[in-house]
Amino acid sequence: MQTSLRSMVLLGLVSVAGVRAADTPAQPPEGFTALFNGMNLEGWKATGKADVWTVENGAIVCKGGGGGWLLTEKEYGDFEFRCEYRWDKKGGNSGVALRAPEKGDPAYAGMEIQLIDDDGWPGKLLDYQHTGSIYDVQPAKPAKNKPIGEWNTVRIICRGRNVVVIHNDVELVNAHLDDYKAKFDKHPGLKRDKGRIGFQSYNIRVDFRNVWIKELK
């Protein structure tokens, strides 16, 4: 009985250790640098309520709505950006800002790559509101979202006028921005060649980790 109990305890400890190990942020791949130091929001600035944004267990946490955007203080032009994100419950909505200026809505003054709980969203989504879309510009192919509580991966490559979005290893968008000149008036950010990168505070909690970038020449 004691041996069996000891084995069960050890098995439980191994299982917990496995969960913690799997939930630990990784090191950037070769050629990438971390945009987030894992400890605080140094190098980032909120455009709304700053207290919506915090750091927990090596992840950037948006605790809910009202925080506007959390943007990098540095601007980036051509780059490959990577991150992971997860929702804590159904109905989440967020986004990744690209080449955004310090002021203005990044969805228009820059670009927004939409992140949303496509299956759990309570209303009907327009084609350009689905995960991976360049918001209000280029609809994405259907995303294969992970279950709520699991991490999704995002890769975004901006090189000149080309934008590629890869979500959970599936390419959802491969766009040439000059194909959308009819949208330049509403979306002047499509003409920008550099700007800030960031995350949107829209409604419920969303976590971001392994936030990496490689600047391209």
Q: Look-up: residue for tokens 């209303």? A: 123
**149 C-beta neighbours (distance < 10 Å), count:** 10
Tell me: the pLDDT tens digits for 197-207? 999 999 999 99
- Structure tokens that stand for 40 in this block: 């605080």
Max CA separation in the chain (angstroms) = 74
- Structure tokens that stand for 119 in this block: 């299956």
Element (H, E) at 61: strand 59-62
DSSP β-bridge partners for residue 134: 113, 138
Whole-model pTM over 0.85:
yes
Question: Quick one: pLDDT band at residue 23, thresholds 50, 70, 90?
Answer: low
Q: What is the spatial distance between Cα 208 and Cα 53, in angstroms, rounded to a whole number?
A: 11
> Looking at the predicted structure, is the pLDDT value of residue 104 above 90?
yes
Query: What does the DSSP 8-state code read for residue 3?
Result: H
Own/partner contacts of 178-183, CB < 8 Å, gap of 24 or more, are 180/137, 180/138, 183/136, 183/137
Tell me: the pLDDT tens digits for 24-72? 778 999 999 999 999 999 999 999 999 999 999 999 999 999 999 999 9
Contact, 78 vs 215, CB < 8 A? yes
Q: What is the spatial distance between Cα 44 and Cα 71, in angstroms, rounded to a whole number?
A: 5
All domains of the chain, ordered by start, with CATH? Answer: 27-215 (2.60.120.560)
* 12-21, 82-91, 154-163, range with the lowest pLDDT: 12-21
Q: Is 197 exposed, middle or buried (0-12, 13-18, 19+ CB in 10 A)?
A: buried
